[in-house]
Structure 1
Amino acid sequence: MPSKLRLGALASGGGTNLQSIIDRCGDGTLNAEIVLVVSNNPQAGALDRARKAGIPCLCIDHREFADREEFDRAVVAALQEAGVELVVLAGFMRIISGVFLEAFPERIMNIHPALLPAFPGLHVQRKALEYGARFAGCTVHLVDGGVDTGPIIIQAVIAVLDDDTEESLSARILQQEHRIYPRAIQLFAEGRLRIEGRRVRIEPPLCPAEAVLTNPPLE
């Protein structure tokens, strides 16, 4: 068995995506271990989840720093001291600066509750409903210097239902987030991701050529 990938997780809120990663590490589906959880929010539920799982965690409050770069340097130092190999953003409500990107090039993942490049930013389920999209979903991508613009690793697609609300659509997307985020991390742990510009190649390829979705169905 290859050595476990050392993860550092950043979270600002309740940490349900963090919990999905903790669970998959625990059941052996994911060949990784979370060696540190960092939050910028002292009240984050993610910190409670880490403590319950026996994972080292700390709060680095961004309000105590003069600027974003100074805050990022403190977080990076903590991650590097813990020997983190891959950083996963699990509801981390801070924009990543160049300090982070230089410290962990192509080694920062994020999950976004929309099918990028459609609907980056905030309130994306509301935007999808207002636009009349037939499909919604979620995306795991590598982080670059933009907002939700990094190379895409994996996406999950769900149909938008006629009676969907922002809350119901968000809940069904969240279920898929919990499935695809650990999978993306596992692909990284297996060394199967190759980045070519904006494309992330998965070796060997996994998607069948005939995979097609339509909404409404053709029959």
Structure 2
Amino acid sequence: MRRIAIFASGTGSNFQAIVDAIQKGNLQATIALLICDKPEAPVIEKAQKTNIPVFTFSPKEFASKAIFESIICEQLQEAKVDFIVLAGYMRLIGPTLLQAYPNKIINLHPSLLPAFPGKEAIKQAVQAGVKITGITIHYVDEGMDTGPIIAQEAVEISEDDTLFDVERKIHQVEHIFYPQTLQKLCLREYEEEYK
């Protein structure tokens, strides 16, 4: 069974969706570790309720990204992590982690990339007046939402949808589609390893 680390910065709704998928048997993986860069984030409580180990840190306490990413790497290696899953982690991944886990870091972005990369993607889509947006699951590289795309799912924007409505629609799709895609990735990796 694949061991994943989830990186999150906020409330942890996608973290919870992944936990739920594992508990229901829809995702054959183990969450070995939660990494959180905000020591007060609500996601930490969610992890503690399910006895998932947590590593929190405050980036501003370190002289550089390379230093705190080296410490994170040590935590990941101790936990024997196979994949890193970003679920609302609001930092760019640096070279230290990218080199330690090449093609093993997965991100969820709330738009159909390459449209609307970066922050506030849902708001960008609504302001642009597009009729269809969606979510993209992709491998992480050194750019901002530029890594190879793994899967995408479209979400329609109705004429009378507010920003809140679109956010709700996007989150509903994320909570189903992200665990499903992670399951496919875990199975693919397993098959390749035991060919």
- Asked if Structure 1 and Structure 2 have the same fold, meaning a TM-score greater than 0.5 normalized by the shorter chain, the answer is yes
- CA displacement 1:118-146 (0-9 Å, x = unmatched): 00001112211221211011111110110
Aligned letter for 1:146? Answer: G
Q: Which residue of 2 aligns with 1:82?
A: 79
Output the aligned Cα RMSD: 1.2
Match of 1:111 in 2: 108
Runs of 4+ in 1 over 3 A off after TM superposition: none
Q: 2:185 aligns with which of 180, 184, 188?
A: 188
By percentage of residues, which structure has more helix? 2
Which of 169, 174, 190 pairs up with 2:171?
174
Q: Deviations over 1:84-119 (max 9, x none)?
A: 000001111111001111000000000001010100
Matched letter for residue 142 of structure 1: Y
Report the residue type matching 1:77 in the other structure: E
Query: Of 47, 61, 65, which residue of structure 2 is paired with 1:50?
Result: 47
Contact 1:138–1:177 (CA<8 Å) still a contact in 2?
yes
SS in 1 for 2:67: helix
Shift of 1:174: 0.6
TM-score by length of 1: 0.84
Rounded Cα–Cα distance in structure 2 between residues aligned with 1:156 and 1:179: 11
1:9 to 3, 6, 10: 6
In structure 2, distance between residues paired with 1:126 and 1:38: 27
Q: Which amino acid aligns with 1:18?
A: F
TM-score (norm 2): 0.94
Correspondent of 1:164 among 133, 158, 161: 161
Letter in 1 for 2:33: L
Q: CA deviation at 1:75?
A: 1.0
For 2:146, the equivalent position in structure 1 comes to 149
Q: Distance in 2 between matches of 1:34 and 1:184?
A: 16
Aligned length: 190
- For the residues of structure 1 that align with 2:54 and 2:121, how far apart are their CA atoms? 30
What SS class does the counterpart of residue 95 from structure 1 fall into? coil
In the TM superposition, what is the alpha-carbon distance from 1:192 to its structure 2 partner? 6.3
Unmatched runs of 5 consecutive residues or more in structure 2: 191-195
Which secondary structure state, in structure 2, belongs to the residue aligned with residue 77 of structure 1? helix
Q: Aligned residue for 2:15?
A: 18
